[in-house]
Amino acid sequence: MLADTSHLYCKARVVSEQPLQVVRSWLAAGMKDFRAHLPVSLAYGLGFMVLGWAVVLGLQVSGLSWMILPAAAGAMLLGPLVAVGLYRISRRAQGQGGGGVAAPGQITLVSIVMMTLALLWIRAATLLFAVFFGLRPFAGFLESLSTLLETKEGIALVLVGSLVGGLFAALGFAISVFSFPMLLNRDIDGFSAMGLSFNATTQNFRLMVTWAVVVTVLVGICVVTGLLAAIPIFPILGYATWHAYCDLFEGSENDA
């Protein structure tokens, strides 16, 4: 007799509470895990900062400074993947199991999808730059940043690029925000996980827009501080994302 696996595909609950109140509870739970696992949390944050610096340095050395801003936006799409280890820490703290991953192969599949989406965004940013500025050589990051903010073409590129980038970000956020923690906890296929994540986002639209705005603001703080703020912010967001998943899908978010 085949085991009943229907529970693995159950949808997220529709949240009736005030979005800001719910988001605060997720962040509070993330802060609690951050304090409870301070050394490993700081190590994750420091590693993320060093990785970010290495990418920026690599782009500058390769003469690809123009890719820094698109790459930073694309990195947001891969954030849930990088935080898988943090989800495991939160899960152990809740007593929901060891450090194992229910569907490692499917996490790889979703990672490929997200990396492809990030590369498509970078390619789209390249084409947009060519449309507005032609095939002129890239003058450098600081010089081009001035051009973007002080010329009509630059301002138009920022507006159009923000719109296009926002579409990529919205899609990436919707399909990944819960799929990675879900595949850590449930042995299901990656496309079902992305579909359930997308459904949870659309069914809790106001809540997830609020969460996305909070994440964007915190990521912006990381950027303007040269990623120094990422040392605490990255692990807190990782832990909070796990608690958000539990709140919507597992009905076990009672420790915030």
Q: Is residue 10 part of a domain?
A: no
C-alpha closest to that of 244 among 236, 253, 235: 253
Q: How far apart are CA 197 and CA 80, in angstroms?
A: 12
Q: How far apart are CA 120 and CA 205, in angstroms?
A: 25
pLDDT for 167 beyond 60: yes
Q: Is residue 201 part of a domain?
A: yes
Cβ atoms of residues 168 and 117 within 8 Å: yes
pTM: 0.85
Residue scoring higher pLDDT (137 or 57): 57
Q: What is the mean pLDDT of the chain?
A: 85
C-alpha closest to that of 30 among 242, 254, 201: 242
Q: What is the pLDDT of residue 60?
A: 74
Q: What is the pLDDT of residue 200?
A: 96
Q: Is residue 1 part of a domain?
A: no
Length of the chain in residues, anyone? 256
Run of H or E including 14: none
Q: Is residue 131 part of a domain?
A: yes
Q: Is residue 13 part of a domain?
A: no
Q: Is residue 99 part of a domain?
A: yes
Q: Is residue 9 part of a domain?
A: no
Q: Please state the domain count of the chain.
A: 1
Lowest mean pLDDT, pick from 31-45, 123-137, 179-193, 227-241: 123-137
Residue scoring higher pLDDT (153 or 206): 206
Q: Which domain holds residue 179?
A: 18-250
Find tokens 């007799």 and name the residue: 1
Q: Is residue 255 part of a domain?
A: no
* Band of residue 44 on the pLDDT scale cut at 50, 70, 90: very high
C-alpha pair distances (Å), 6 with each of 1, 86, 96, 172, 184: 15, 27, 20, 26, 17
Q: What is the pLDDT of residue 98?
A: 62
Find tokens 């990782």 and name the residue: 238
